[in-house]
Amino acid sequence: MTNFTALADQAEKAIREVFSPTPLQRNEYLSALYGAEIWLKREDLSPVRSYKLRGAFNAMRKFSDKKAFVCASAGNHAQGVAFMCRQLQVNGIIFMPVTTPQQKIQKTQIFGGEFIEIRLTGDYFDDCLYTAKSFCKEKGFHFLSPFDDEDIIIGQASVGVEIKRQLGSNPDHIILPVGGGGLSAGVTSYFENECTYTLVEPLGGACLREALISGKPTKLDTVNTFADGAAVGKIGEKTFNRLRNIGLANVITIPEDRICISMLNMLNIEGIVLEPAGALAVDALQDLGQAIRGRRVVCVTSGGNFDFERLPEVKERAQRFAGLKKYLILRMPQRPGALKEFLNLLGPDDDITRFEYLKKSARNFGSILIGIETKSPDSFNEFFGQLKEAGFTYSDITNDETLSQFV
Q: Which residues are catalytic?
A: 52, 302
According to DSSP, the residues that pair with 24 across neighbouring strands are 41
CA distances from 323 to 54, 255, 266, 392 (A): 39, 14, 20, 21
**CA-CA distance, 16 to 61, in Å (whole number)?**
13
DSSP, residue by residue, 86-107? HHHT-EEEEEE-TTS-HHHHHH
In the chain, what is the greatest distance between 2 CA atoms, to the nearest angstrom? 81
Residues composing the chain: 407
Return the number of other C-beta atoms located less than 10 Å from residue 65's C-beta.
Answer: 8
Angle CA(244)–CA(246)–CA(248) in degrees, nearest 5? 95
Where is 30: in which H helix or E strand? helix 28-34
Angle CA(261)–CA(179)–CA(301) in degrees, nearest 5? 50
Could you give the 3-state DSSP secondary structure of residue 25?
strand
DSSP, residue by residue, 382-396? HHHHHHHHHT-EEEE
DSSP state of 221: S
Give the strands of the sheet with 351-362, arranged side by side: 351-362, 365-373, 325-333, 393-396
Q: Enumerate the H helices of 89-234 as residue ranges.
A: 102-112, 125-139, 150-167, 182-191, 207-214
